[in-house]
Structures are given as structure tokens and as C-alpha cells.
Amino acid sequence: MMTTSSTSPSAADAASSTASTAGTPGILPAELEDLVALFDVRATDSPTPDADREAALRSPKFGTVFTDHMARISWRRGDGWLDRRVEKYGPLQLDPATAVLHYAQEIFEGMKAYRHADGSVWTFRPDANAARFARSAHRLALPALPVDDFIGSIAALVRTDIDWVPSGEDFSLYLRPFTFASEAFLGVRPTNEAEYLVIASPVGPYFAGGVKPVSIWIDEHYHRSGPGGTGDAKYGGNYAASLLPQQLAAEKGFDQVCYLDATTNTALEELGGMNVFVVMADGSVHTPELTGSFLEGVTRSSILQLAADRGHQAVERRLPLAEVVAGLRDGTVREIFACGTAAVITPVGRLAGDEFDVQVSGGEPGELTMAIRDELTDIQYGRAADRHGWMRRLA
């Protein structure tokens, strides 16, 4: 059993990205200005009318409304990354033989931009997203985007569409960077051409009307990945593999699916798009150890750090399903929650499978679950001190 905490940024990194603290806005690092300047802004000729944008921001729905622009960089083998620009949001023109349509060579990330009380706009741990994006690219044989281009593209887009960043409790601008194989070629080999884009969508609270516990079905028949696969890459195929089990669970009346390891089919791994945590009666916080079969979440590593900061033992280990179910029945397991960028932290109120059905925390959000959720969102929105230097100001 291994006790861990997330890694804080180096002193040099922290110096280059002044942390935001409640009531003390940070300073835009000079080098970010240089990165943004690399992007040619080609403004849309049909901006969304102010009244329509304001209406969309009052009640945004996740992933359905998008800002006026998108950031973009092209890549060609032998030439590298080319033509950094921010351009009008719109459809992509693809040849029917475009490689991604046939061989699924693509990756993506998910993150948010948060408007603070003083009007400034920040994002959370972009260096961690950039590093994971590069790891995903390596696994899918795609060109790795430099960290500077990743962060510069996000800042350039946010500044161009600054009026699309909503204000209000739990409102944010969701950012979706992605890379895909754009070469028109039918053949099983790595692409010689790729496109990188960032699109943005204003989003409101994940839980309308307050945080609500979800019900989880433990799937013992399907796996979203396995040893040596693509599970630790943020790759669309992993999510496609989770859709049928999710559909079957929904037909049973459950909100989400949790998958077991593909080797023994006995240990918890992750939900279709979220990591999972178990809080024991002694206050220790446990999450499945990284095996390469599921995603190393940025929110996951942040929670490990925040739990340790509070004096809780933060443990990454193999987490047998039988132990968790027995613990819920005898009281040694007190809370379960899931985490990810979109929902931040989601309490679990019910866990069920083919041969069990147990309630979690009396069907209510757990105390530590909510305390860590509040602390994390307070950091993200600038209401609490950012003691680990996680926030990066964009505008």
C-alpha cells in the first residue's frame, strides 16, 4: 500500500505563474504575452449579437453552445507545427479518406476557464493538462504539442472570446483542446498531417439545484481498456467503448458505470469519464493505483494533495470491489465519490452490481466529499488561497 500526494510545481514554475489568492489578483507573466503573440487573430465576420450571447450565458448547457472563435495549429511531418492562429468557429472540411475517420487517431483534453470576482480569468493546472496531452499523443503516435503552444493557444482563444467567460456560482468556460490525424490516406500507419484545435463552450453548474449523489452500476462484463491498451490516454475510443455499458446501466436506472480491472475483474478502476475515491471510517482517502489502464486525472491528483493537507492519509492502492461492498455493509467505508473536470467532485449515494445493492452515506453527500469539493472550487474561483500554485491567469 502506497501513500502519495500530488506533486507541487517547481519554484521556477511557481515564480513564472503568480498564484491567485482570495482578494489578491495575480500578475500576467511576461512570457505568456510572448506565447499569445505567436497567434494570428483572424476575427469572425459574423460575431454573435450581444443579446444572444448574454442569453446563452444565463443558462448554458454543457457542450451545446460555442464561442465565436477557435484556436488552431497545423502540423506536417518534416515541417513541424505551423500557422498558429485564432479563427472563426465553424465546420471543418474533411476529405472522405481523412485518416481519423478510419483509424481513430485522435486525442483530446478537458479543462475550464474561471472568471474571478475582479473580472480576471484563470485556468487550473494547465501544465498538467499539457503534459497529459503529450503523453496521449505519444500513445496514439501523434505529434506532441509543446507545452508553450498548448498554454498559448488557450490564452489566445480566451482573450479573443473574453466576453464568453460567464460569471456566477459554478459557471465557467469549458475548453476542449484536441488533435486529430488530418491526412487523406487509407493505410494503417501514423499520419503525416495533423490539426490541433481548441474550442470553448460556456457551462453552468453541473448539478442544477445543488449537488446530488449519483447511483453507480458496477459492470462485471465489459471493460473500457486493459493492460497495454489506451486506457491512460485521453482518447475518444476509450469513451466510445463505455457507451454501451452506460446505456445498459441507464436502462437499469443507474446514473453512471464503474469498471473493474480487465485482468482479474475484481478491483475498481474508474467510471466512464471520472476517477473514483473511497473514504474509510478512519478518515483515510483511497483511490485505485495507476496501472496504465485508466486515466491519471488532474482533479484526482489535486484531491490526493488536498486530503493530505487536511491530515488525512491519502492512499493509492489496489481497491477490491468485495472489500468496498463489505465496508459499506459493516461501516468501515464511509463515503464514495467520483471526480473529473466537468463535475469536479460527484458524491455517490448507491453502489450496485449483479449480486449486491448498497447505499452509500445514507444516500446523502458525504461530509469529507463536500468539504474537499468546496475547497477545490474555492481555489479555482479565487475565493481561497492557491497555496500550491495551481492557478494560471489567462486574461
User: Tens digits of per-residue pLDDT, 178-193?
Assistant: 999 999 999 999 999 9
Position 316 pLDDT exceeds 80? yes
Position 125 pLDDT exceeds 80? yes
CA neighbor of 288 nearest in space, from 254, 323, 255 = 323
Position 5 pLDDT exceeds 90? no
The pLDDT assigned to 29 comes to 61
Position 4 pLDDT exceeds 70? no
Confidence of residue 25 (pLDDT cuts 50, 70, 90): very low
Position 1 pLDDT exceeds 70? no
| Lookup result for grid cell 506532441 | 144
The pLDDT assigned to 59 comes to 87
The pLDDT assigned to 28 comes to 54
- Note the pLDDT tens digit of each residue in 332-359: 999 999 999 998 999 999 999 999 999 9
Cβ-based neighbours of 329, under 8 Å, separated by 6 or more: 358
Higher-confidence residue: 3 or 349?
349
Position 85 pLDDT exceeds 80? yes
Lowest mean pLDDT among 61-70, 208-217, 370-379: 208-217
Q: How far apart are CA 118 and CA 42, in angstroms?
A: 28
- Cβ 161 vs Cβ 41: under 8 Å: no
Confidence of residue 18 (pLDDT cuts 50, 70, 90): very low
- Note the pLDDT tens digit of each residue in 222-252: 998 999 999 999 999 999 999 999 999 999 9
The pLDDT assigned to 205 comes to 86
Q: What is the pTM of this model?
A: 0.91
Q: Which amino acid is at 353?
A: G
The pLDDT assigned to 23 comes to 35
Hey, which residues does 353 pair with through a beta bridge?
356
Hey, which residues does 392 pair with through a beta bridge?
123
The pLDDT assigned to 27 comes to 45
Kindly report the length of the chain: 395
